[in-house]
A and B are shown apart, each in its own frame.
Chain A
Amino acid sequence: MSHYISITDQERRAMLDAIGVTSIEALFSVVPEEKRFPELKLPEPLSESEIARELRELSGRNANTLTHRCFLGAGAYNHFVPSAIDALLRRAEFYTSYTPYQPEISQGTLQAIFEYQSLICALTGMDVANASHYDGATALAEAAIMAVNSTRNRRRLVIAPSVNPQYRQVLRTYTQGLGLQIIGDERVDASLDEVLGLIDETTAAVIVQTPDFLGQLHDLRPIAERIHNAGGLLVAHIDPIALGLFQTPGAAGADIVTAEGQPLGIPISFGGPYLGIFACKEQYVRRMPGRLAGATTDLEGRLAYVLTLQAREQHIRREKATSNICTNQGLMALASTIYLCLMGKTGLRRVAELCYHRAHYAAAEIAKLSGFELLSSGPFFKEFVVRCPRPVSEINRDLAARGFIGGYDLSVHYPHLGNAMLVCVTEMNTRADIDAFVEALRG
């Protein structure tokens, strides 16, 4: 009997008697006999200390942000995670509960979602935020589909090539059966102006990212104006940390906003679990996918929270639902809620400033190196592009030997940039780290 099972042999016999069968095997007589009880060729079971030893050994083979100084971003960011977050996430009341189907005994989760939605609205300047998606990429894909469903007879999406290449791939995966046309990123060297030139009266939405995948900040206002004049929607993907300093998509006129929420207190964890932030203007709320918590009262008039506007969702609408999504990224949304509460407006601004100024310092220092050239010409936030004197993969191998995780190699997705590296600098990279990195790049 394994340690996860609480039913003793004696209890099993009593229960089988009550059921009226002689063995547990008999409960499975409905399973085709020749396929029943197959041998599972699995390794022998391990005790807790044995598995812990094996996994410590395995994890020890991975470079990480404690063993190496990290200058890599490209969609996953090494930001500071305050200790209080994990202390609270490890409360069993949060992590061992499920979707709040029974609101009377799920007020903790519901209030946290409500506060999350409120914070995302405050951060982005949008009217409504849902309870979250799997990650930034899937949030963006669902935003695009929502945009199509929110406009009439428009089946075309225009997307900038400066949107994260993985997100563009996910968008195409999600929409492959929907008969949509996605244009704009055929040429990855197309400028944003060229892309906006593709907008016409069949365009459901234009999809842009700011700061974009290459780190560059864009003014969303003229983009919003342009797409609105053509009768379509602006879907803007943003970096939540950048909003500590920069223009909100809400103020700029975006209709649907998505973001990767990982920078808000979630460890990089080899790519997941992350958090898809999703917000929109109020007029589109009934087309919105995902869970929504709302405030209401109980029988005694006390303030309380409940999942609401569920008529959009799959468990009621089935094939007519706005999406098949049936949960949110609960614990990750909670992490970001706690993060934003700890940071507050002052802390978030400070983090954004640290990223901005340190990234600019790093860019300037690298640009001084012979053979390196700063390719980012416009305003950027925490990432920038440098052209290197030799292939980035080679440089990164050398950097790893010196204890650095180097920047992202852009040669696969943006070959026109040559040997280009996307360097990321956050509040976790001190001036000493940056100086050491620059020295290491010097070779």
Chain B
Amino acid sequence: MNTYEPPIFEYSAPGKIGVALPELDVPEAALPEELLRDDEMDGLPELTEVEVVRHFTRISQRNYCIDTGPYMLGSCTMKANPKIHEEMARLPGFAFIHPLQDEELAQGALQLMYGLQQLLGEISGFSHVSLQPAAGAQGELTGILVFRAYHLERGDTERVEVLVPDSAHGTNPATAAMAGLRVVEVKTDRRGNVDLDDLKSKLGPRTAGLMLTNPNTLGLFDEHVQEVSRLVHEAGGLMYGDGANFNAILGIVKPGAIGFDLMHYNLHKTFTTPHGGGGPGAGPVGCTDELAPYLPGPVVVKQGERYALHMPEKSIGRVKSFYGNFGMFVRAYTYIRMLGAQGLREVSEIAVLNANYLRVKLQDIYPVAYDRTCMHEVVLKGQIKDAPGIRTLDIAKRLIDYGFHPPTIYFPLTVPEAMMIEPTETETKRNLDLFIAAMRRIAQEAREQPELLREAPTRAPVRRLDEVRAARQPILSYHREAIQALRGDKADPDDVLIRPLGV
């Protein structure tokens, strides 16, 4: 296990193929010679199925994943991915339906989408939902474009500023910029809330809205959220809810009830559609009656007993082709229907219980960023007493040696040496206790054998990487010579001897 696996191109040999394809059963038509490809496609390898299967199986074993163990990556909500979801998304009547086939031939799919719109709306307190955005970041862009369109429609042309707390995820300011609006940063107060005085000083006739993650990226529920909403609305702005941390408040509070006008849901976080090594996600948005006409579409509407696709009348337009990441809808729908109202509330209750348990068990060694009850994640500082020179990065890498995926680190940017830990509700107490023990042991090692941290990880497939080299002399695709040069004397022969051991 975990042995070196060469780039797949190195297995290629002329004449091999990994699939059996049908023979041509029609007469050949003339090809337009001047438009033909004039190279031999040498960059595409020639391989058999077993070679491809082994290669990807081997490299997969160099990944840590939820099914391997605890994955407490803050703000990413790496909860367990139920297997039934995968079965349902692959039903032929879901996986093999064409998005443009007649609506009459897709009533089952449309009914599921309509059902998911209703479920998400009810859970969040919004009357309308568009499932189209493909990811959280795209949900954000959708929301801010909706805000912009809403203001412009009212002749409110001066509202070009989007307020973003300094603790926010980088996608928030990047989104506002992408929508052509200006970012105004709002400070965080001493208890981790939006600083009300700073907010007041920045609100005004130019305010398009505020993007607020609540609970925020510090893992804290804003103590003045209703006051924040009131102030933003009073200034004529709108409240955007970044749903990244929605997992903490299912059945606890509806964002629509505390002043948010629109929010996105991360189906891959809260509703556990798998993260897939980075995607696909799904970032539907929900909103109030007032903003509904601007939603991207089409959305699904019910007409009598029939389901139909409908473009909202003042829609900002499509944000992607077709209707969104349908395969993710099937999974999220399955999840919500299996949990029901009580089950969803229990999700948040236990997510919050687990995070607070970690907080009280670790805060004597790793200072908490804000000393109060947290929600689904806790932000600690990797500043260990009497261990100068040890950084959060070292702690994270040492956790790998103890078999844990490290938390999110150096985020939020406002907390020095931040470690953002999100256990989720699916983790066991046994694993929480093991994690606590590992973190305490690491603190001890930091004082007594700091090299163990600085040299970590030593039990991973590779050691720490030369990221400077990667950036200064970028090699972004396979070139035999470049890879050989990198590999140097660590070239194939030795590895070939090791590799047949396999698993």
Contact = CB atoms under 8 A, between A and B. Distances in A.
A437 interface: no
A268 B354 CA distance: 39
B501 interface: no
B64 A106 contact: yes
Interface string A256-277: 0000100000011111111000
B175 A100 contact: no
A62 B251 contact: no
A104 B466 CA distance: 11
A97 B91 contact: no
A236 to B, nearest CB: 13
A351 B21 contact: yes
Contacts of A246: 35-37
Interface string B178-210: 111101000000000000000000000000000
Nearest to B273: A273
B503 interface: no
6 contacts: A7-B354, A30-B223, A45-B339, A94-B276, A108-B59, A315-B169
Contacts of B383: none
A401 B374 CA distance: 58
Interface in B73-89: 73, 76, 78-82, 84, 86-89
A310 B345 CA distance: 38
A350 B21 contact: yes
Pick from A87, A114, A243, A314 the residue with the most CB of B within 10 Å.
Answer: A314
A305 B324 CA distance: 31
A178 B176 CA distance: 11
A138 B320 contact: yes
B408 to A, nearest CB: 7
A97 to B, nearest CB: 4
Interface string A57-98: 111111111111010101110101010101110111111111
Given A28-B352, A88-B53, 14 more contacts: A4-B80, A7-B350, A31-B252, A36-B252, A52-B84, A52-B88, A54-B337, A102-B405, A117-B477, A138-B319, A246-B36, A299-B465, A304-B465, A316-B170
Contact of A321 (B100, B125, B177): B177
B280 A219 contact: no
A30 B221 contact: yes
A64 B91 CA distance: 10
Given A245-B37, A302-B4, A431-B26, A24 B349 contact: yes
Given A19-B357, A20-B360, A134-B138, A303 B183 contact: no
Instruction: Report the contact-size class of chain B (Cβ under 8 Å from the partner).
Output: 35 or more
B108 to A, nearest CB: 3
Contacts of A111: 5, 7, 59, 62
Given A41-B122, A331-B277, A344 B18 contact: yes
B476 A270 contact: no
Contacts of B53: 84, 87-88
A61 B408 CA distance: 43
Interface residues of A, number: 210
B497 interface: no
Contacts of B80: 4
Contacts of B475: 294-296
B414 interface: no
A353 interface: yes
Contacts of A345: 40-42, 44, 46
B31 A245 contact: yes
Interface in A201-236: 217, 219
B226 interface: yes
Given A267-B96, A271-B323, A272-B322, A95 B488 contact: no
A399 to B, nearest CB: 10
A356 interface: yes
Contacts of B434: none
B123 interface: yes
A135 B41 CA distance: 24
A273 B49 CA distance: 25
B437 interface: no
B330 interface: yes
Nearest to B193: A30
A104 B178 contact: no
A324 B400 contact: no
Q: Which A-B residue pairs are the 9 nearest by beta carbons?
A: A122-B43, A271-B322, A177-B180, A59-B93, A45-B340, A331-B276, A271-B99, A330-B278, A61-B108
A379 interface: yes
